[in-house]
């Protein structure tokens, strides 16, 4: 076979790792990358709108609380990635759950349909977080706070998708791409932040800053 004939071979279609024997559950584990935006952007917008139109919060206060929600998301992103998605499970069931939520992504990081979380999993998690935040943040401030938190989640989702599938040529984008790909391919533990390295540096989990 000549080099020319090798180059002319058609690319083989990607085969996703099968997670469930049940066909319906398997379909639900795949999601188009635009889905989180379609699901969560209207909810974030509605929460911010309620803060202004229903609760009459001023724009500066609403913006400040929403930015706080984005900031808290970055910590949640780090904590979930470090302590849940990379949990050193010992039992068979625990190992399967870790693989279900995140291990399959490390096994096949180029799978475009498993780079963002399916709504079937994200909705109950977000509902629990809303109730948890409600224990500490009273109405009406919980509205813009959770709106900002969701925006932070969307930013994370699409930065994560871009690091695996887009060139990302600007200096900041290139840094984030290389930072996350080192998490996958360097063989070093750490670099749990995707949208920001902030908490890796705070908690000492950035091997490049050791």
Residue ranges of domains in the chain: 33-107+116-164
Q: Tens-of-pLDDT digits for all 210 residues of the chain?
A: 454 444 545 555 677 888 888 888 888 888 899 999 999 999 999 999 999 999 999 999 999 999 999 999 999 999 999 999 999 999 999 999 888 888 899 998 888 888 888 887 788 889 999 999 999 999 999 999 999 999 999 999 999 999 999 999 999 999 999 999 999 998 888 999 999 999 999 999 999 875
> Structure pTM?
0.88
Can you spell out the DSSP letters for 24-74?
HHHHHT---TTHHHHHHHHHHHHHHHIIIIIT---HHHHHHHHHHHHHHHH
> Which of 144, 158, 22 shows the shortest CA–CA distance to 71?
144
Q: How far apart are CA 175 and CA 88, in angstroms?
A: 28
């Amino acid at each position: 076979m000549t080099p020319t004939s090798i180059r002319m071979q058609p690319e083989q279609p990607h085969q996703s790792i099968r997670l469930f024997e049940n066909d319906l559950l398997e379909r639900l584990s795949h999601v188009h990358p635009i889905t989180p935006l379609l699901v969560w952007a209207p909810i974030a917008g509605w929460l911010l709108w309620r803060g202004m139109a229903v609760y009459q919060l001023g724009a500066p206060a609403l913006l400040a609380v929403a930015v706080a929600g984005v900031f808290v998301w970055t910590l949640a992103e780090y904590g979930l990635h470090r302590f849940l998605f990379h949990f050193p499970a010992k039992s068979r069931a625990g190992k399967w759950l870790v693989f279900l939520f995140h291990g399959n992504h490390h096994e096949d990081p180029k799978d475009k349909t498993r780079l963002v979380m399916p709504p079937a999993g994200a909705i109950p998690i977000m509902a629990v977080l809303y109730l948890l935040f409600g224990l500490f943040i009273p109405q009406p401030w919980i509205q813009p706070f959770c709106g900002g938190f969701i925006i932070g989640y969307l930013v994370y989702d699409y930065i994560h998708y871009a690091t695996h599938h887009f060139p990302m040529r600007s200096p900041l984008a290139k840094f984030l791409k290389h930072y996350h790909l080192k998490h996958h391919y360097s063989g070093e533990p750490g670099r749990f932040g995707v949208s920001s390295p902030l908490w890796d540096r705070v908690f000492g989990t950035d091997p490049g800053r050791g």
